[in-house]
Structure 1
């Protein structure tokens, strides 16, 4: 059972965000867009798609990290860069090349440098973002993911 009751999804209109919204809608979690305070989770599903990399993929993430760290509430933040490690519970999910294919439900966590890391569906990335919300063993860690043969909803996948 999820301990998350209220969350903010930034980038919910993007392609990964749309899949994520569908997962949240099936759960008992309330997704909101109000101020960051008082929420159990903040998910950034924002990506530049290769345009405005510094403005979107770096500055935008740092701004949200800083806003979260100023909040008197600790929130879990996923899909980010490690900026304020001691102030937030966070999990960073870094997908390989994104595709629009049907979800597989299976991923792999990449270890080290791989010449051809493969691809991952946007729907599977959304599922990973949703699944790791309650995996406390993923807090403070970063994961490079691609489609593979492990279930995203199994905490052992991230060990």
Structure 2
């Protein structure tokens, strides 16, 4: 399978690249502003992409592929340009490339407006607003076979390989666990059209996917 990872040098994206590349039948196209920092493997091809660029430039940068995983984020520093507008530009141009499958790394409560509204909004309100409208664009304005993953807070703890999908059983997600779920989702057609809640849990990733309703 030919899979693009956008944000391939980020905390999650780099681990997604590594996990996908462990299956030698995959051809992984790893997109980042600093492609020289992409994890190295024989079936990984790094390419430069800057989400501040114009749509035409992004179109020229995207390789041909079967699927795309969007893991890019600004760390709260450039939410409109990267987390929102950058994601939308990638969606628009990926559709022009004929890519059918789109997996979005989002966040818990991204599609729950009350979490970033009212007198006591989430401290991540601006981030959630950016993710909200990027997610809505994916759902409402595209024809992708999409999946949206909504993890809780990301941590640097070693991944157990055990997760909860479809609900939340903890307030944390190991970055390694999130990467493992993204790598599994993109190759699992049963997740198409689903918005999947995720936290660290007690079920192996493959079993948790099988148990999704």
Q: Distance in 2 between matches of 1:55 and 1:76?
A: 23
- Equivalent residue of 2:12, what SS? helix
Residues 39-94 of structure 1, C-alpha deviation per residue, up to 9 Å, x if partnerless?
011111112222222222111111111112223x2421112524244521111112
- Equivalent residue of 1:60, what SS? helix
Cα shift at 1:37:
5.4
Q: Could you tell me which residue of structure 2 aligns to residue 30 of structure 1?
A: 27
Cα shift at 1:124:
0.6
Q: Could you tell me which residue of structure 1 aligns to residue 188 of structure 2?
A: 135
Q: Distance in 2 between matches of 1:106 and 1:88?
A: 29
- State whether structure 2 residue 201 is matched by structure 1 residue 156: no
Judging changes above 3 Å, is the alpha-carbon distance between structure 1 residues 117 and 22 closer, same or farther for their aligned structure 2 residues?
same
Q: Could you tell me which residue of structure 1 aligns to residue 102 of structure 2?
A: 77
Cα shift at 1:117:
4.8
Count of residue correspondences: 151
Q: Could you tell me which residue of structure 1 aligns to residue 52 of structure 2?
A: none
Q: Could you tell me which residue of structure 2 aligns to residue 10 of structure 1?
A: 6
Q: Distance in 1 between matches of 2:212 and 2:74?
A: 26
Higher helix content, 1 or 2: 2
Consecutive unaligned residues in structure 1, runs of 5 or more? none
Q: Distance in 2 between matches of 1:59 and 1:122?
A: 24
Cα shift at 1:141:
1.3
Choose which of 148, 151, 165 in structure 2 pairs with 1:95: 151
Check whether the contact 2:4–2:28 (CA below 8 A) recurs between aligned residues. Answer: yes
Cα shift at 1:144:
2.0
Q: Name the structure, 1 or 2, with higher relative contact order (CA <8 Å, separation 6+).
A: 1
Q: Distance in 2 between matches of 1:83 and 1:149?
A: 33
Consecutive unaligned residues in structure 2, runs of 5 or more? 32-46, 48-60, 106-134
Highest Rg: 1 or 2? 2
Q: Distance in 2 between matches of 1:49 and 1:67?
A: 23
Cα shift at 1:110:
4.6
TM-score w.r.t. the length of structure 2 is 0.64
